[in-house]
Structure 1
Amino acid sequence: MIFDARRRAARLARSARRFATADFLHARAAENAVGSLEVILRDFPVVVDLSAQPGPFTRALADSSVAARIGAPVAVGDTASHAQPGAAPLTLTDQSTDVIVSLMTLHWANDLPGALAQIRRALRPDGLFLGTLLGAGTLKELRGVLTEAELQLRGGAQARVSPFADGFDGAGLLQRAGFALPVSDVDRVTVRYPDLFALVRDLRAMGETNVLAGPTRPLTRDIIARAAALYAERHAEADGRIPATFEIVHLAGWAPHDSQQKPLKRGSAKMRLADALGVTEVTDAALPGSD
């Protein structure tokens, strides 16, 4: 088990009051999801939102012209289920939903392919899944300075930033879960802060602080101060502000249906690739030294 669901639930509950002060990543993810729906000219009567923070998607949808073609999003799940996506069966009937959205939540799943497979089963044939999760490049600066500060002052270091999924694996994860026509895109966002402490305040307000499983040795004030100094030394910009990288992985996939495009069978092409490209095909026999 990578993540501790109880710690994650506690972080979510504690962040509820302050989430609106640091919801910019969730709002960005929601706007992208709504933008994807706007270019699909069809109705989606039943829409389910599995996001731990469903508000941003509901607001983005309300401000969009696509709202007339889409049913009101139904938020499903509680703090416990959002804390560990996929750990328990979804409270959704198989093939009952037209669209399922999960924004900024699935990176806390201990079994991400399993969580995606549950979502796929809940979709009607030709139903759509839209998701976002944090990717491997997220908080790379913070990860580096915390590790270095702890090594310097303790002689050893624990993982302090979650091991996020590689964004380039997104389409493969969707295929593994049984989705058709999978699409994955990576959106890298750099946010500038006056110091490390302001960054940590935003992470707490988002509910995105460390919930790795196992015993965690608390960071001392000296280690935190050293990490803050290293962050400024290594990454500060001309005005003294520090950058924090967030990598948002956008996922889209469809529940399989007979009407969807399918790749041609191997060997069924009616034209050679060389002819299509207008080039001369070179065979092994034409190469110098060939027998």
Structure 2
Amino acid sequence: MDGILNINKPVGLTSHDVVARVRRLLHQRRVGHAGTLDPLARGVLPICVGLATRVADYLSESGKAYQAEIVLGGETDTYDREGRILSMQPVPDFTREQLEGVLRAFLGPQLQVPPPYSAIKLQGEPAYRRARAGESLKLEARPVVIERLVLLAWEKPRLQLEIECSKGTYIRSLAHDLGQRLGCGAYLSALLRTRSGPLILQESITLEQLAEAAESGQLERYLLPLDIALQHYPALVVDARTLQRVLHGNSFRAPGPEAGLWPSRVTGPGWRATASLQEEEPRLARICDEQGRTWALAAWKPEQQLWQPMRVFGPERRS
């Protein structure tokens, strides 16, 4: 059983809790999640089963979307409502225009410091464990991109935001940083993930729905092909001979990004270009067969002028 489940995680469960339940329902050991959601958060949690666990790292490359509720006037050690209150301050009578002006400063590429209570590992140990032990942590800032930040509602002291951002963005840190910028403190009080990569909330299923499908023998209807995790990469369609090289991990020659045109089809030494490359040239491509199924992800090696498979999903992959 291989594929991806679009699970609507409820409040109160950890991402690992959801993985454990899916393992029991599917009777599968190879199950993992892509993109952690805190217990406070709900919404889209991609669950990878079988071979799909090998594409989990790529599933959220095209970003995520959230709806967040933030409370102004307080700070907590976890940057959310479940933490210990560190300070309380009066909240000025901000207008929507004032808040929107501050929010605009958070748009675009930036460096963001993750919360001390996070799953980021320091010397092999999650940061939250060291923080719980009383250790004072200062995590390194990481590059993130906030593409969209819309003020949905403002009723003092609560505001609601719609957010689209790159993977690795912490909404708790965004709430904390917003409070710092406004001068009154802030923390995250509720979070709904509406999209993770290609998976959207409207198409998600609950654990109860999954349990019903397992009982009725209809699990396959909810399993999405692992190919969807790689759809944001350009495709190279190869013939049977080249595909065999790829499945054995061997490199192959085809024009790369520097050629100025993207090859959509590779047949032995020949190729057919169909589209100009964009400014941000991708250095990875998915390798597809004649039927359009993805069998590998390959990286362009400019020094050797060839493609090198870096993640192969066959020949063990089932039809």
Q: TM-score range by the shorter chain?
A: under 0.3
Query: TM-score normalized by structure 2?
Result: 0.24
Larger fraction in strand: 2
Query: TM-score normalized by structure 1?
Result: 0.25
